Chain A
Amino acid sequence: MDFNWMLFRRNNRILIGIALFTVVFGASNSLKAQDFTKSQNKLKSIFIYNFLKYVEWPKYSSADVVKICLVGEGDIYSELNNLAQTKKIQNRKVQISKIESLSECTSCDLVFINENTQGVKRPGGCNTFIVTDNNFEEGISNINLKYNADGRLGFEINSGLCEDNGYKVSSALKSLAF
């Protein structure tokens, strides 16, 4: 009896290779989008610093400090504090404080009203320089920071109010306003 017909061939399956190493890009979400708000607060602080440089104050509230007051909820406080620690205006230190309302404005050289702060009114006798954030209010905003249609942060100046409050805005600053 011939058993040759019973010969068979081994037929092994093919293994699918798996690369076990998780390459770095697999965790590419570790590439974090940085804090946009922080960068915008930095820009706003630079603008405020320039307002203090390019606007002539009739007089400061104190002989040795320039006082910036903040009204409303916002994240710019720490950024302005960084500015205060490193910069001087007219050889005066910069001091940052928070106030509840504009009724305290006379103790401030510049008031910054945070965005989305509602129901703010300038009290009679308050000639303090007021910067609003993306929220122009007639009779309140000396300067309003705003984004133009292209999304560029800039500012608009209420020249009449500035004059009425006794501030001289330099032509350099005016030329850059919206």
Chain B
Amino acid sequence: MRTLLLLFFILVSLQLKGQLALVNEAQKFIQEGKLTEAKEIIDNASNEDAFKTNPRANYLKAFLYKDLYLNSKGASKESYRKTAFQTIEDAKPISSGTSFENPLSQLSEFMSSTFFNDGVDYFNQADYDKAIIYFDKFLIALGDRVDEFVLDATYYSGVSNYLLGNRDDALKNYTFVYENGYENPLLYNDLAALYLKNNNPNEALRYVKEGLSKFPMNQELLITELNILSQKEDYASSEQKVDAYISNYPDDIEVLLLAGTIYEKNTIEAEGERKTRLIEKSEKVYKKAVSVDPNNYHANYNLGVTLYNKGVDIINSKSYDLDLEELRSVVDKSNDLFSSSLPFLEKSLESRQSDIDLLKALRSIYYNLNMKDKFDKVDAQITSLE
């Protein structure tokens, strides 16, 4: 019996020595970048009991499959990642308390980060369904841990859900990162967008204000605040704030266009001198926007329509018993405005050939200015669109 036990011991020792030699050989191949050779050795050895209980051999296998994953493409890539993860999981119990515990943990974290990176890549490619899948895999791999990457993955899952129209899921994601102290001004912006979509402008404004208290110069939040105030028809506040933003961002096309839109919206409630002043202000910011970006469709369209509408307003605001001289003056002023609107409307038509309102405005102006060829062309376009 003792002889048998001794023989068994010698056999196991020889096997272990054999395993050690194989592991050393595989490691050498990995160092030399000969992954196929290393894989052959590791795969052959990994079914042996001695391999399964060896922390170093298992770590080496996980490491090898990590490298195979990184150096491959196509269907095999995913299979390598799966094996790497499985090997890490198998190795955890036998590595506990050994010198491989920490390297294995690092390797595990690295492999988890590949899910995060894939999620990011899909997100950046606007493939939001797949982005959510990979962010979720990343979060599952990390368990209950909460760090900046977990918050990023959760937040961008939220963004993906929002963009896919999954508002409830988006809100869950946003709420999680908000409650865990995620410091990103876009979060407040997105929460505001979400609540506004859910017809809750007060809650939207609350998040924007909280965001602005943390990121007072963040432009997205400043613009969102203006949008919400405008939607809430808080005309006085929106005008006051937009005036301040223009002085801070005098050449920012977005701020200029938003300002013009807010001034225009505010004219709905305004009368008399205040209305005239708001129209002048919107004309001024649109002119500035065109000078900042001469090819910008919105800047050209809004300036053209503002000048054109001003011409129409001059006529419509007059009473029927206008004195003859005044009538002549009204005709001259309105006509000058129609003429001055023309280049901006024509410029915006370059970008939107089938904008029926724009075409109709141009048709009227061409008619009045006796521009027959242009009139005929636009008239034919309108007919084909209608």
Contacts and interface: CB of A to CB of B under 8 A. Distances in A.
Interface of A: 1, 3, 5-8, 10-26, 28-29, 31-40, 42-43, 45-47, 49-50, 53-54, 82-83, 86-87, 147, 149-154, 172-173, 176
B152 A38 contact: no
A87 B320 contact: yes
17 contacts: A5-B31, A10-B110, A12-B117, A13-B116, A15-B124, A21-B190, A21-B193, A24-B226, A25-B298, A32-B357, A34-B309, A34-B316, A36-B308, A36-B360, A49-B320, A151-B335, A154-B331
B335 A24 contact: no
A28 B304 CA distance: 12
Contact of B316 (A22, A42, A151, A152): A42
Contacts of B254: 23, 25
Given A21-B190, A40-B368, 11 more contacts: A3-B59, A15-B120, A21-B220, A22-B193, A28-B302, A31-B306, A33-B360, A42-B318, A43-B327, A53-B321, A147-B368
With most chain B CB atoms within 10 A of its CB, the pick from A3, A17, A28 is A28
Contacts, number: 176
B312 A21 contact: no
B107 to A, nearest CB: 8
Contacts of A26: 298
A36 B309 CA distance: 9
B223 A23 contact: yes
Nearest to A17: B186
A19 B189 contact: yes
Interface string B313-329: 10110101110110110
B295 interface: no
B227 A24 contact: yes
Interface residues of B, number: 80
Interface string B220-239: 10011011001000000000
Contacts of A15: 120, 123-124, 152, 156
Contacts of A82: 320
Contacts of A40: 315, 364, 368
Interface string B180-194: 000000100110110
B301 interface: yes
A36 B320 CA distance: 17
Contact of B230 (A13, A24, A173): A24
